[in-house]
Structure formats: C-alpha cells, structure tokens
Chain A
Amino acid sequence: MKIKTREDLDALKRQGLESLYPDNPKITVGMATCGIATGARKVFDALSEEVEKKKLDVVVARTGCIGFCQKEPLVDILSPGRERIYYKEMSPEKAVQLLDQSMGAKPKEDWALFRMEGEENLITNEAISYVENHARAGDNAIPLYKEFPFFKKQVKVALRNCGFIDSERIEEYIAKGGYYTLLKVLTEMEPEEVIEEVKRSGLRGRGGGGFPTGVKWASCRHAKGEPKYVICNADEGDPGAYMDRSILEGDPHSIIEGMIIGAFAIGSHEGFIYVRNEYPLAIEKLKIALTQAEEYCLLGEDILGTGFRFNITINRGGGAFVCGESTALMASLEGKVGEPRAKYIHTVERGLWDRPSNLNNVETWANVPAIAARGADWFSSIGTENSKGAKVFSLVGNINNTGLVEIPMGISLREIINDIGGGIPGDKMFKAVQTGGPSGGCIPEQLIDLPVDFDQLTEAGSMMGSGGMIVMDENTCMVDVAKYFVDFLQEESCGKCVPCREGIKRMHEILEDISTGKGREGDIELLEEIGFILKEGALCALGSTAANPVLSTIKYFRQEYDAHIRGKRCPAGVCSELITYSIDPEQCTGCGRCVKACPAEAIVGEKKQPHSLDPEKCIKCGSCFEVCKFDAVIRQ
C-alpha cells in the first residue's frame, strides 16, 4: 500500500488502534533486549501456547521497554473497559496464570507493579481512557502509573512510544500520531520554517556534545556542495548506557520520521544510520521499520506523494567506541579506518565524502517529530534556560530501580536517585554518581542537589554525555572507578594522536601503581599534567575529555588518592593489594558460613569455635566479609 493522502494515513491509524486496543483482552510482553535477557521470550512463548491450546479469546502481543528494567520481564494486561495492569518479574508459569485475569478474574495484586487508567498521546496531545468511567475505584492496592515514584516525574518525549507499541507494526506507530507530522511538514511547511522551529525549540544534541540542533541544520542547509547527507549516530557505546538501543528497538519509526523531517529541512536525499553490530535486535527492528516505510511510500522517490525523495541505508559498526565520534563515524562509513580527523572545517561543511553532512544521534532524531508536531513553544516550556526538553538517562549501578528514565532538564540528582531510582540498595550511603560515560566525571554526594542540565554538569567537572548515570555507594573506591574508565579508554582510543594514545596509557599506569600500593608523591600532579596535555592537545573529543574521570575524582576525592599513595590503604576496601582480611576471635561464633563461602580454602576452624584465616591463601575476594553475620571478619 502507498500512503499518498491523510485519508490513507487515517485508514492505517484505524488498523493501528484496533491492534493497540482490541475488542478482546490483550496481554503484552516487554521484549526489548532487557526483557529478553531476563526471560521474556519464554514468557511470550508460554502465553502464546496456552492461548492456542485453550483457544482463548486473548491477543498475545509484544512491545519494547517501558523503562523499568529492574523488574523485567514485565507483562501487562489490557481488557476492554478496564484498567491496564502491569506485572513484574514474570516467569512462564506465573504469566500463564495471569490469563485468568484477562478472562475476568481479579487482578493478582501481589505480582502487580502499577496500573494505568489510560494513556497520553504526546504527538496529538490527546488522552485516551481505558476505563469507561474514571470515577470507578478499584484495584487500589496497586499504585497508579502517574503516582508511581519511578514514573511520576518523568516526561516521555523520545521514549513516548517505547513499551506502548509493537515496533514491528507501523500502523501502531501511526495510531500514536506517527507520520502525520511528516505529512504536515512536507505539505504545509517550508524547510526554513522547520529549521526555525527546531532552533526556537532549543533542542540540543543528545549524543554528548549538546550542540544546538537547529543551528547545525541551518549550517548544513546553507553549506555549499551536493549531495548533502543526513546521518543518525546509533553507535552508542558508553559503559552502562542503553538509551538509544531502547528507542531503536522500541520505536524505530520515530527515528526514521525525524530523519526524513531533518532531510527535508536540510535539503538532503540520502541518509545513513550507523548502528553498532552489538545491537542485533535493534538492527532487526530497524530493518523491518525501514522496509515498511519504503513499502508505504514514507521513504523513497515520492514520499507521501509530495515529490520529496529520501532514502536511508543501515551501516553496521564493527565495535569501535571511537566510531561514535562524528568524524571517525564518517571515515568508517566511507570504508576507511575509523579514526577521527580535526574538525577545523566542520562536518556540516565537509563531512561524509567531503560533502555537507548533518549528524545527530538517535535520541535527538526521536525528539524531532515531537517538536514538529507540538511546536517549539511546547518543547521549550520543558527544561531549564539553556537546556530545553527532557533527557533520557540510563540509571544503573548501586540503585534500587535500574532502568531508563526520561526526565525534564533541571531536575535534581537527589530526585533522580532517591525518588525515581528508589535510593541505594542495602541501606548503604550514596557516594557519587558518574555521568557522561568515559568522557564524563564523578559528582560527589555533596552536590546531590545539583540540577541536571548541560551547563550544570559541565560546571561540576562532568558532562551530560549521552545519558549514562552510574550510581555508586560507599563501598566504591574512586581510584578504582577512575582506573576502570581510563582502562576502557586505553582500549578504545584509536591511537592516532600522541596525547590520547600515550597519555591515557600513562594515566592507567599511574593509577595501577596507586591502586596496588606503588603510588608515589607527585603522582597526582603527574596525572593532572597528563590531563592538561589531553585536554589541550588531543585531536578529538575522546582524547580531550579522557582525563575527566581522573580529574573529577581527584577534585572531589583527593583524600582517597592520598590514602592510597601515602597510607597504602584503600578506604573503600576495594583495591585488593591494599587490604587484608582477618577474623576477630571475640566476635566469631564458628558458624562456618565464611568457610563455605571462601573459594580459596583460606579459612579453617572447628564448628562453634573461633575460626582463623590464612593470609597466605586469602585471595581477598571479600566473600567471607559479605556473608559474616557477626561482624567477625575484619577488613583493613
């Protein structure tokens, strides 16, 4: 089918609405990578089998990630006229029992996570209600989505459809308002108007740099040279970050629609999506979406019958982190070694094959249709003065609610960690949060009220980056954290320029010394000196920001470095060369738990008699320390 008119879109929208909200009960499994990793596929198969076997009048559907990855696999039930209920940590056996509920039985409150009375359509700004009568109270023990702490403060713009649609069904995307915006843009707007709208919205690049998107588009539009290229950077590689993957898997059409709008505004007819090959599901979903878009005339020679032409090619990255850097990405697209080049002449002037090229990342592109649909004023009403809109963060590390959250810019770290994230597990103290990936830095507990936006994070010595947020508790050693990131960068530096290749290696060497008790006076100053060389001398942003994890931990946790260097001890008890374990005979009850836990057979003792630990055999894994209930294991 070819979509040429609004009526054609309407017809698909009707199909989509039927599929989203069918007349019979629908049970949906969250099947993004996070869900599948915890067993969602088995859950889906079990449900399908059961429905088939019992000939139940139930639709078994799949969707992407709604963000609450901590409690995956998630399954939700939507029965006509009733509230939608989400269930957590589903196994195939449990999920099958849920089918009773879809057939009218009472919801299983113990398994439920939250409930929804309806959903909002961000694009059309309409709300739909699942329940016929809003006043109908019931299921009160199950918290409401809107009041559920994890979701309450979120504003889902880029993630608007993730977890709500089946990304393989283009009609569901259209039913959520998708591609109507494209039709409006292509038929009612001039390219300059689109650019102006994006400029006014204040949208800044979500991939790390935070460059104003509209300004970039304008430069590319006005740059000399043809053809012009539009590129989507889907080479997400920061440790602990998976915002883009979720959108690629859960809502690929939002990226495609954003890219077509961008191409129209810039005057480009050829686009590329550079996606890392480690994202097989994302690539699969993206391929399906592109094929559908081509079939429906949303890509190709005559988009929506307007005569505008644009095509998108997927290019798979080979696993180099540095290829997320725009010039290295373009070199890789050209088939060359993925090494960055100097950007004294910007890529919007001379990028891919020396032609004007506009590159934005996945999340930025996914924001574009929303801005074009709702307008710049709406978008800029969210966020802070210089950071507009909402930003997706992947909240990971020592946090109760691991997941993806999209929050309005300007919300404080405290709200993110305590309210949305549910605080630190095991009553431990919050120590620091690492933002911005390997280019970012660690923000300490005393800055927990920092409002999160581009400028505030940079001022604190970190950066927004692409949105990784790694929460660390009191048992984290900051020297070890710095060493981890520097090790990552040492592996991932392309090795072209001297500061990055040699400097990061030397930083790692020094940190390794410090963490193994070989640190010397002057090491901190030497690290700072290498930091200067990297910042001023490195060729690309990977190198020039590479010292941030080190410099920010020195800035906020200098005493911890000093303890390692001068005191030869690791206050957090992480650096194994600097700690020893022993057993306090006064406290030890001889329960034997540590004996069982020790993988090195270093602990011996008679039952109910104080045990002893052989430091020669001890591998300092800390297992005994973790299992002892009587505080008898001493770590020094």
Chain B
Amino acid sequence: MITLTIDEREIGAEEGWTVLKAAQNVGIEIPTLCYHEALSPSGACRICSVEVITKKGRNRVVASCLYPVEEGLSVQTNSEKIQRLRRGLMELLLARCPSSEKIKDMARQMGVIVPRFRLEQEECILCGLCVRVCQEISEARAISTVNRGTKKEIAAPFYDLAETCIGCGGCAYVCPTGAIRIEDNKIRLGDKIFKELSPEEVKKVEEKFGTKEKAAEKG
C-alpha cells in the first residue's frame, strides 16, 4: 500500500497504480479524453495532466493516466497552472473540432467558448482509442494511425477497406467525439470506410452497444 496526497487529501493506492486510478478510486475527478479503463493508457490528449511534487521536491506536470503512484507523492489536480494548461489544450482541440458537442461541452466547462485560431472542421481528435480497442480488445489490428504530425490520421492500410476488420464496432463505440460512426451499414470515419457490414452484423453491433438513437439519448 502506498500513501499519497491528492488535492490535500491523504489517500491509499496500490503499487503499480497510476495517479488517475488512485484518484478515481476515491472519487476525485480528473478529466480525460484519450483514456479508457479497458485499454492501455496513451498520454496523447494531456487533458488529465496534473501537477506533482515528488518526495525529493521535484515539481512537474505529468499525465495522470500514465504517472505511477509513489510514496509521499503530492498531487494537485486542479491548480492554476493545470487549469491554464487544460484551457489551452481545449482551445486547440476546439479549433480543430468546432462542431463536436463533446469538445464544445468540455471546452465550455473550462471557460473556452471561441478559440483564437482559425477553425477547422475535423471530427476526429486523434485520441487513438479506436486503434487501441482494435488492437487490444478485438485483436483485429484493422486500423491504425498513418502519417505523422499535422498529417496524422486514422485509417485502414492504404486507405482501403480494412481487410482484418471483424466488424465488431468497438471503434465507433469507444470514439469520444462520434467521429467514427456506423451509418448505412458501414463503419466509417468521414469519407473513409473501414468496413461494409451485412444487416446481420449491424444487428449484432447494435445488440452489443445499443443503437445510434440510444447512444444519442445517453449523450
């Protein structure tokens, strides 16, 4: 058992846990975007950043979904610096995806309404959850990120239909912005079609994850 402090609260955590898990375990909320408890953490969105002071006195900003708990660690989940960082990140994401309800919502909660950058019209925030679910849960490895930097995107090999896709729909389910959708019997991300599904396959997906309408109800 490890003892650490999160937002002035002394809590216990198990060796090997991340700061995020330790916080969630006692009901302290840290916002996340690219994190899912069933998948390996990635540290791509940085929204879960927190300020830590180690026992040696080193103060730094870390991604709580990856940072392992350690004895005597002091964590600030909502310091001024962290708020400023999250606002900045949300402003960048909102400029990328100004129509995404999820992003608009999160940004608004952090006080960002209109980004100071030119607006793009992306839906995908490149959190990589779809790629991880496809690898780690479905074990299909049907989609991945391609290219790098500003040209990075999610796609199937050679922008073709994903040969190894099993049509499970996990990618659409896990997508936080709804960029990957099952529409007209197709799993798609914008213009890119990953898989054409038979009506039976669509039914199976809906049984597993619920229909689009139900998902909309849930928000």
Interface residues of chain A, those whose CB is within 8 Å of chain B, are 320, 322, 337, 341-342, 344-345, 490-499, 501-506, 509, 522, 526, 529-530, 532-533, 536-539
Residue contact A345 to B117, C-beta cutoff 8 Å: no
Which residues of B are found within 8 Å of A491, using beta-carbon distances?
A: 149
Q: Tell me if B176 is interfacial: C-beta within 8 Å of chain A.
A: no
Residue of A341, A345, A490 touching B149 (CB-CB under 8 A): A490
Q: Can you list 28 contacts pairing A with B, beta carbon distance less than 8 Å?
A: A322-B148, A337-B144, A342-B43, A344-B62, A490-B149, A493-B148, A493-B149, A494-B152, A495-B145, A495-B147, A495-B151, A495-B152, A496-B128, A496-B145, A498-B46, A499-B46, A501-B150, A502-B93, A502-B95, A506-B92, A509-B117, A522-B116, A532-B88, A536-B81, A536-B85, A537-B61, A537-B85, A539-B44
Q: Tell me if B193 is interfacial: C-beta within 8 Å of chain A.
A: no
A527 to chain B, nearest CB (A): 11
A54–B84 alpha-carbon span in the complex (Å): 77
Most B C-beta atoms less than 10 A away, residue of A501, A504, A529: A501
Give the dominant DSSP class at A's interface: helix
Closest to A345 in B: B68
Q: Tell me if B63 is interfacial: C-beta within 8 Å of chain A.
A: yes
Give the residues from 106 to 120 in chain B that come closer than 8 angstroms, CB to CB, to chain A. Answer: 116-118
Q: Tell me if B17 is interfacial: C-beta within 8 Å of chain A.
A: no
Number of residues on chain B facing chain A (CB within 8 A): 36
Residue contact B88 to A529, C-beta cutoff 8 Å: yes
A237 to chain B, nearest CB (A): 13
- Per-residue A-contact encoding for B53-75, CB less than 8 Å = 1, 0 else: 00000000111001110000000
Closest to B65 in A: A342
Beyond known contacts A344-B62, A493-B150, A536-B81: 13 more, CB 8 A cutoff: A344-B68, A492-B149, A494-B149, A494-B152, A495-B147, A495-B148, A498-B45, A499-B46, A499-B88, A501-B150, A502-B93, A509-B117, A530-B88
Residue contact B49 to A497, C-beta cutoff 8 Å: no
A636–B68 alpha-carbon span in the complex (Å): 58
B49 to chain A, nearest CB (A): 6
A495–B145 alpha-carbon span in the complex (Å): 10
Known contacts A342-B63, A537-B85, A498 near B43 by CB under 8 Å: no
A539–B92 alpha-carbon span in the complex (Å): 16
Q: Tell me if B21 is interfacial: C-beta within 8 Å of chain A.
A: no
Q: Tell me if B132 is interfacial: C-beta within 8 Å of chain A.
A: no
Residue of B45, B88, B117, B118 touching A533 (CB-CB under 8 A): B88
Which residues of A are found within 8 Å of B88, using beta-carbon distances?
A: 499, 503, 529-530, 532-533, 537
Known contacts A497-B45, A509-B117, A502 near B62 by CB under 8 Å: no
A223–B47 alpha-carbon span in the complex (Å): 32
Closest to A493 in B: B149
A13–B168 alpha-carbon span in the complex (Å): 67
B111 to chain A, nearest CB (A): 14
A320 to chain B, nearest CB (A): 7
Which residues of B are found within 8 Å of A345, using beta-carbon distances?
A: 68
Q: Tell me if B96 is interfacial: C-beta within 8 Å of chain A.
A: yes
Residue contact A501 to B46, C-beta cutoff 8 Å: no
Most A C-beta atoms less than 10 A away, residue of B66, B95, B148: B148
Closest to B84 in A: A532
Known contacts A344-B66, A344-B68, A498-B89, A537 near B150 by CB under 8 Å: no
Which residues of B are found within 8 Å of A503, using beta-carbon distances?
A: 88, 92
A490–B81 alpha-carbon span in the complex (Å): 25
Most B C-beta atoms less than 10 A away, residue of A341, A498, A530: A498
Residue contact B149 to A532, C-beta cutoff 8 Å: no
Which residues of A are found within 8 Å of B42, using beta-carbon distances?
A: 496
A235–B148 alpha-carbon span in the complex (Å): 17
Which residues of A are found within 8 Å of B148, using beta-carbon distances?
A: 320, 322, 492-495
